Amino acid sequence: MRGPRPARLNNAKTGGLKITLGEMRSTGVRDLIVFCQDYRCGHNVKLSAAQVDKWPDEIRLSQTEPRFACKACGQRGAILRGGSEATMMAVSQ
């Protein structure tokens, strides 16, 4: 029996192509929040600017989402959001 299909670059779950890291950085946002793709899990982790700055500007958020795996439930695939102040406050509540 096969496992679940890998996430595709242009699928409904990820919302298609997302901005590049360079475009995100140009708005002043340098942190990322990685959410588990499984809404039932709800696990998330913040990647600091020091970690994210190692990646090149040309990488799209949608290109990296399928590469993450949740440490809490093992689900492959993630939803990436810029770690703006508003997003950080919403996640911490």
Number of domains in the chain: 1
Residue 64 included in any domain:
yes
Q: Which domain holds residue 63?
A: 21-92
Structure tokens of 81?
């959001």
Residue 8 included in any domain:
no
**How far is the C-alpha of 68 from the C-alpha of 90, rounded, in Å?**
22
Q: How confident is the model at residue 15 (pLDDT cuts 50, 70, 90)?
A: low
Residue 49 included in any domain:
yes
pLDDT at 9 over 70: no
Contact criterion met (CB below 8 Å) for 69 and 84? no
The model's pTM? 0.74
Q: Which amino acid is located at 82 in the chain? A: G
Residue 3 included in any domain:
no
19-78 residue pLDDT tens: 999 999 999 999 999 999 998 998 999 999 999 999 999 999 999 999 999 999 999 999
Of all residues in the chain, the percent with pLDDT exceeding 90 is 66
Q: Which of 42, 11, 27 has its CA nearest to residue 19?
A: 27
